[in-house]
Structures are given as C-alpha cells and as structure tokens.
Amino acid sequence: MTTQKQQQIILEPQQAQILRLKNSGMMINHIGSPLMNEERDEEMTKSALAAFRAKEEEIERRKIEVREKVQVQLGRVEEETKRLAEIREELEALSDPMRKEVANIRKKIDFINRDLKPLGLTCQKKALEAFNEKNREKGQLVAKLVELVAESEKLRLKKLEELCKNIDSLR
C-alpha cells in the first residue's frame, strides 16, 4: 500500500547505507581475494534486506494499529450518532400533548364570539341576558384554556429538560 514516493524515501537511506558498507568493505579488503569481497557484499546485502524487511514489517504493524484505532473511533461515532438521532426524534415528537383540547376550546370561543356580536348590538332584555350568559361561558372557557396551556407548558418543559440531560450525558 506504500506509494512509489514512500518506497523511494525508505530505500534511499538504506541504499546509501549499503553503498557505504560495500565501499568500506572494499577499502579494507582491497588486497583480499575477490571471493571474500563477494561474500561480504552478499552478507551486507542480506543484512540490508533484513533491515529493510524489518522496517517494512514495523510500518505494516503501525498501519494495522492505526486502522484498528480508527475502527474503534468509528464504532463510537456510530453509537453517538444513533443516540443523537433518538434524541432528535424525541425532540421532534415533542408536541403539545393537549393540542386537540386547546384547539376545541379555541373553536368554541370563536363560535361564542360570533354569537356575541349580534347579541351585543341588540340590547333587548333577552338578548342582554343571553349576552351575559355567553360572556360568562366565554370567561370560563378562557380560564380553562389558560389552565391547559400552563399545564401543557410544564409538561413540555419537563420533557425538554430530560432531552437536555440526555444530550449532556453524551459529553
């Protein structure tokens, strides 16, 4: 998996070392027999190859270690991603639990308001009684709406706090 440039970087110092070893052997034994020089050259070549192989094995071992560490980190990232996705789903699902009830009460208030307008314009006695009755009913519904909204806000805030704790536990 090493590129040509990486191999060249590794080989250059080793080749220089081999040449130095060969040259030093020739200088020392330039008087000696050519057979001894060949044997020494062969030994030095074997030694240099063994050093090269050892370095290659070390590089490969380190690559494997780094690859394993990356895999461990990827596993952790996947787990955290799943946890964050679950928290996001909970957050998106966090809607007003009393939304339907609030909508129904608002509709009733709107209907009553429509009924109040014509009754308020005609100030006959019956109309005035009906007007007052509708106003009382409206007041009760408004009070109920305020109560439901407050309760809903408490529930949603509690759920948001739980989600925040989940997110904080990720850190």
DSSP codes joined into one string, 85-116 = HHHHHHHHH---TTHHHHHHHHHHHHHHHHHH
User: Tens digits of per-residue pLDDT, 55-75?
Assistant: 999 999 999 999 999 999 989
Q: How many angstroms separate the most distant Cα atoms in the chain?
A: 140
Looking at residues 26-49, what average pLDDT do you find?
Answer: 70
Which residues, at least 6 apart from 84, have a Cβ–Cβ distance to it below 8 Å? 167, 170
Token representation of residue 159: 């759920």
- pLDDT bracket for residue 163 (50, 70, 90): confident
Which of 1-5, 43-47, 53-57 bottoms out in mean pLDDT, i.e. has the lowest? 1-5
What is the amino acid identity at position 15?
Answer: Q
Cα separation, 10 vs 6, whole angstroms? 6
Which residues, at least 6 apart from 60, have a Cβ–Cβ distance to it below 8 Å? none
The answer to whether 142 touches 110, Cβ cutoff 8 Å, is no
> In degrees rounded to 5, what are phi and psi of residue 3?
-80, 165
Q: Is the pLDDT of residue 2 over 70?
A: no
pTM comes to 0.41
31: helix, strand or coil: coil
Looking at residues 68-97, what average pLDDT do you find?
Answer: 84
The confidence score (pLDDT) of residue 130 equals 82
The answer to whether 105 touches 144, Cβ cutoff 8 Å, is yes
Token representation of residue 124: 């006959």
